[in-house]
Copies of this chain bind each other. A is one copy, B any other.
């Protein structure tokens, strides 16, 4: 499972290496380091990650980590990229084959669940809380793809309002925020996701939002 993660991407921007065991081993170690980093930030908070602790967790000293990542920010960046790819994968897996409107609702649910199930991850991916850090273009790419999924679903649902997308992200982001800030691990805002989506549909595409009504045209 480890070696499936980054095969072929192990180059840090250089030319792709041949298929050598050396590179595979190295990639596996990097993945192990990132996994340990996730465990630590879940345990002690995102900002509390230290190279000492991280090294200890993977059975090496802090300086040895520099063989795998050139800086602490590079570790955050790898975590960011992995997290965003996971979010994208979760959305893609969930909306496959659904009609446009159901796909939108599902995206809201999936992103909400994804974000609230791991506060530290949500903090890294969706807030700007680490002083000098901003994701590299490569790590940010899946975030852009995520936006595209939303835009695509909106269009497929016949929603052409240019503000619909901003409105939609604000709604989901607000539910996530309140849940994390005021009721972490609870259900207080989770219960309101579907209702909020209904509200969104009613506002942005009122014609098709009331299934009981008989005024299709």
A residues with a Cβ closer than 8 A to B are 45, 47-48, 123, 126-129, 131, 163, 166-167, 169-175, 177-178, 181, 188-189, 191-192, 195-196, 198-200, 202-203
Chain B residues with Cβ under 8 A from A173's Cβ? Answer: 173-174, 177-178
Chain B residues with CB under 8 A of A128: 181
- Residues from chain B with a CB closer than 8 A to the CB of A188 are 166
Residue numbers in B under 8 Å from A203 (CB-CB): 195, 198-199, 202-203
Please tell me if the beta carbons of A166 and B189 are within 8 angstroms of each other in the complex: yes
Given the known inter-chain contacts A47-B131, A129-B129, please indicate yes or no for A178 contacting B166, CB distance below 8 A: yes
In whole Å, how far is A158's beta carbon from the nearest beta carbon of chain B? 18
Across the interface, do A126 and B171 meet the contact criterion of CB distance under 8 Å? no
Q: Which residues of B contact A202 (CB under 8 A)?
A: 199, 202-203
| Chain B residue at minimal CB-CB distance from A179 | B170
Given contacts A166-B189, A173-B173, 17 further A-B pairs with CB under 8 A are: A47-B129, A47-B131, A48-B131, A123-B129, A127-B181, A166-B192, A167-B196, A170-B174, A170-B189, A170-B192, A172-B174, A173-B174, A173-B177, A173-B178, A174-B175, A177-B177, A198-B203
Cross-chain contact B163 with A192 (CB below 8 angstroms)? yes
**Interchain CA distance A171-B171 in the complex, whole Å:** 6
21 sampled A-B residue pairs with Cβ under 8 A: A45-B131, A47-B129, A47-B131, A123-B129, A126-B181, A127-B127, A127-B129, A129-B129, A163-B195, A167-B192, A169-B178, A170-B174, A170-B189, A170-B192, A174-B175, A174-B177, A177-B177, A199-B199, A199-B202, A202-B202, A203-B203
A195: chain B residues at CB < 8 Å are: 163, 167, 203
Residue in B170, B181, B200 whose CB lies within 8 Å of A175: B170
Shortest A50–chain B CB gap in Å is 12
**In the complex the two chains form, what is the Cα distance from A48 to B47 in whole Å?**
13
Interface centre among A174, A188, A189 (most CB of B within 10 A): A174
